[in-house]
Each structure stands twice: as structure tokens, then as C-alpha cells.
Chains A and B, each alone.
Chain A
Amino acid sequence: MLPCFPLTFQTNCNRYMGYKTHSLQDMRQQAAIAAKVFLQRDYTNGTVCQFQTKFPSELETRIDKQQFEETVRTLNNLYAEAEKLGSQSYIEGCLACLTAYTIFLCMETHYEKVLKKIAKYIQEQNDKIYAPRGLLLTDPIERGLRVVSCALVFAVARIFRLLRSVTYK
């Protein structure tokens, strides 16, 4: 259960400096401030890699709940497919054992193939759905399959433009 707490800019902040010059208030660069939300793992079915589908409240203003849950559900299904204990994994395991696991030097494991699929899916989702809304999903493999992190990107230039329009009225 994620407790609701107000997003503050001091905590969970990452900043990067851009090169664009801005004539507004002597700002020579445009900063994008990212706050991050972390989706934790769901262990109700054991140690299989599944993520919680609970919709974080910080994303309420950014994205549709259904859309987000659909993304997480698809991710969960892909991970379940990777870790499935079926005839394919048994055959792969036995064959690898007979060759003293040297077969993995030339062959990709089923899990690695699915991980590539997952990476492609996340990139696709970012390009089509999340980036236009100012969100960025990070592939959980980069965080040790512990969390799915979703970065909320704020463009400061936009905020300053809004402030300027309010001041000059």
C-alpha cells in the first residue's frame, strides 16, 4: 500500500541541465525536474516476478487508470511467460544439462528472449503513450527486477511561461 504524500521537489528529484538558452529571467538553461514513483513487486503468488497493479495517486492527473493498469498487467503476463514451468523450460534445462550448459554459449535462453520482448514493449509504450504525457517508464531489469519506476517529467520552461502569463495580466 503506497501512502499518499504530497509530491515535493526536494525529495525524489533528479535534475539534468539542458543546453537551450532561455530569455526569460536570465535563465540560460532549461531544467527538467523528474519526480519518481516506484511500483513494488507483488509476492502473493510466490517469488514469480509480478508487479503490483495498484494505481499510484501521483499519476492520477497524468494518465488514465485503465491504461496504466493495462500496461502493468501486460508486463506481468510477459514475466509469467518467461518464468513458466512448462515442457519448453524442462526440455531446455535437460538439453543444457546434457551439454554441461555449454549450449548457452551459442544459444539464448528463453528468459533472455522474453526480456528482449519486454524491453521492446516498454520502449513502445513510452513512445506511444507515456512520453506524450510527460512520463517515463524504466525497464525493471535495470533495477534488479525489484521495481518499475515511473518518472514524472516537468519542464520548468512551461511553468515559467505560465507564471509569466499570470504576472502580465
Chain B
Amino acid sequence: MSAVMITRKVRKWEKLPGKNTFCCDGRVMMARQKGVFYLTLFLIIGTCSLFFAFECPYLAVHLSPAIPVFAVLLFLFVMAMLLRTSFSDPGVLPRALPEEATFIEMEIEAANGNVPAGQRPPPRIRNVQINNQIVKLKYCYTCKIFRPPRASHCSICDNCVDRFDHHCPWVGNCVGKRNYRYFYLFTLSLSLLTIYIFTFDIVHVVMRKYQTHRCIVWPASPETGFTVLEVLVCFFTLWSVVGLTGFHTYLISLNQTTNEDIKGSWSGKNRVQNPYSHKNIIKNCCEVLCGPTYPSVLDRRGLMQDISPVSATSATLSSSSSVNPVPQTTKTTAPLIPNEHTPDDAKPNIAASVQASPSPKEEHPSASKLPPLASPETDVETSIAKDKTH
């Protein structure tokens, strides 16, 4: 049965490895599990809707119209920051293409020298000196790269993320270099919004009851039932969100990530100090919050050729029934090894004489054809190393 190759242009996000979901033709990038993110949205929008519906009319009339206006602005800012954190690329590092991966493997081989049979090869670590501190760069077996400093592999999204902070299920995405400041502004503005709603709920209840009864009486009306609900939600949210904001303020002032804090990288037990800190709180804050906005290095919306085989018999069958319109435009001379040098025209196939086996496409970093340098011992080591780092 002969196979017929179909080439079609697809966006690169469709072929990206990793466990992300993409929307809006690659413009939106999120983790796979979005349930908790929907809960976050529901809680914020729900509570704010109740506030605007029941408290704001009364407060606007009896206190000041600026109160709901400020609440609306704050709510819009919170939503903007949340969506920005959830939908943007956190700083994912693209996996190494096959030739880069092979190059790195050869460098490692050369550095290790001859390993006696039966012995495990040494762990793949590169030492670099950053601001007079020795920092170890670990090798990522999934992405086939030496991770840059402060990068870490997220096992939930299956990507290496630059300046990895943590994977936040509440926003449904990793928090990394590119979206950390949006995440921080989200927690900060959400704290302010929660405190704001909490305060004005209490004010509203007190004012209403004092006005009607000239003394504080426990409410019995349905509107105040909603107020109680809002107060409860705000009360429980307050403790967690304000605490989180405080924690991240502390991390920013020291220019540390949550990942480094948890692992105790700069806790000082080895007298190793944070080489990335400017030793000045203001400078650290400015760098993290007002630094340059890094572009995404993951090309999601670029176009690439996708070659998929379709069996000839099914093609002829379907062409007769005219259900599948594809076989009529099939190219039979698709290039076997497309890469960045391949012109767009189809090239004649040399196949057998040139290549023993089909090599992976340049654009598709499947990297399944690497020279088998990993022995069974290193596979075990890989899984242990993966568990430790993830």
C-alpha cells in the first residue's frame, strides 16, 4: 500500500510539544487544567456583581458616587491582570532542535571522557560563574537543553520556563519571567478589591440598620443576606490573597523566585548568596516590576509545513465518493527532510541513497532520533533526576 504525502501549512502552536492548550489561533496559551481558573473567575465576578447590584446603589446615594466608580476601575484592573497572567506565555523555552541537542550531547561526551562499563556517567551539570558565585546549570532531559539560570521545568505544563516562579492553578498557568509582574499586580489589586468590598459591605450594613432603627440590629432582609455572603467570601479570600501578596512583596524585594525560596537556594546554609539581587530593595523592585517587557521566544503563530501521510487506497476510495477533497491536490514529491534551507518548491525524492531512515523535521522538535548515548543506567538516573527537579 503506497502512502501519499500531504503537505499543508499549519501554525506552529499546533505542533508544539508540552501540555498547553491554545486558543484564538495561538494567541492565548494556558495549562491543561482550567477548572480552578474558572472558579477564580466565578468568585471574583460573582462577588463583584453582587456588590454592584446591592451595595453600590445605596452607597452612591448616601455616601458618595465615587465609591462604585473606584470599585469598577479596580474590578477592571483585577480582571485585566488576571487574564493577562493566565493567557500569556510565562517565558517558555523552546526545546532544542535535533542538531542542537546532538551538539550538546557531543560536548557532554567529550567532557565526560571514557566512562568504564557498568558505571553510571556523571550527572549532567554545567558550572557557571555569575557575579562571583558558582551556579549549577542542570540538564533537562525532556527539553534537551542545559537550563539557563533560574529556569525550571514545570511538570504540569511539561515545559522549561525561564525565571520559573511556580505553577498557579488559580490562574491556570505557570508564573515565570514574562507574566510575574502581572501575577503580582493581580494579587495586589485583588487584595485591595477584597478589602474595599469587605469594608464597604460592613459600612453598608451599619448605615442601613442605623438609619432605619437608630441602633445596630442584626439584619433580616434578603439584600443583607447577599451582603453576608460577600463578607464571608471576602473574609476567607483576604487571609490567603493578602498573605500571598505580602510573601511575593518579600520575594521581589530580595529578587528571589518562589521556586528558589522553596528549594532554599540562597538561604545561606552554604554561604551562597543570591547573585541576581542588586542588594538594594528599590532596585530589586524596579527590576522585577518596571523592567523591560520580555518578548515571547516561543513562536506560536508562525507558519510551518506539516507533512502527513495518507494511504493511497483510502484516498482513491474517498475521491470517488467525493467526500474527502484532499487527494486531488496531493503532492507526491514532498521533500523528505525539510529544513530552513529547503526552498518552497517540492523536490525530487532521493530517499534510499541519501538517507537510511527519515530524519525528524527541523520545525518539529520530536528529537526521537538522537544518538543513543543514554544507557539503561542513565535512564534510571533520568527518571530520578526528573522527579527531584519537578
Contact = CB atoms under 8 A, between A and B. Distances in A.
Interface of A: 2-3, 5, 11-19, 28-29, 31-32, 34, 36, 38, 41, 43-47, 82-85, 89-90, 92-94, 96-97, 100-102, 104, 109-112, 115, 138, 141-147, 149
Interface in B175-190: 182, 185
A111 B348 contact: no
Contacts of A144: 93-94, 297-298
B54 interface: no
Given A19-B347, A146-B93, A100 B148 contact: no
Contacts of B291: 83, 85, 89, 93
A97 B292 contact: no
A30 B291 CA distance: 49
Contacts of A29: 347-348, 350
B286 A112 contact: no
Name the residue among B84, B100, B345 with the largest chain A CB count within 10 angstroms.
B100
B339 interface: yes
Contact of A90 (B106, B131, B290): B290
Contacts of B338: 16
B26 interface: no
Contact of A3 (B77, B107, B128): B107
Contacts of A94: 290
Contacts of B384: none
28 contacts: A2-B107, A14-B341, A16-B342, A16-B343, A17-B348, A19-B345, A29-B347, A43-B128, A44-B130, A45-B130, A46-B130, A46-B275, A46-B276, A47-B149, A82-B292, A83-B292, A89-B292, A97-B185, A100-B77, A100-B81, A101-B80, A109-B293, A111-B292, A111-B293, A143-B94, A143-B100, A144-B298, A146-B148
Nearest to B80: A100
Given A29-B350, A38-B103, 18 more contacts: A15-B354, A17-B342, A19-B347, A43-B128, A47-B163, A82-B292, A85-B286, A93-B289, A100-B76, A100-B77, A101-B80, A101-B84, A110-B292, A111-B292, A144-B297, A144-B298, A145-B297, A146-B96
**What are the 7 tightest A-B residue pairs by CB atom distance, in nearest-first order?**
A93-B290, A3-B110, A100-B80, A17-B347, A16-B341, A144-B94, A144-B297
Contacts of B99: 12-14, 36
Nearest to B163: A47
Interface in B298-326: 298-299
A142 B299 contact: yes
B135 interface: yes
A3 B130 contact: no
Contacts of A101: 80, 84, 182
Nearest to B128: A43
Nearest to A10: B371
B268 interface: no
Contacts of B158: none
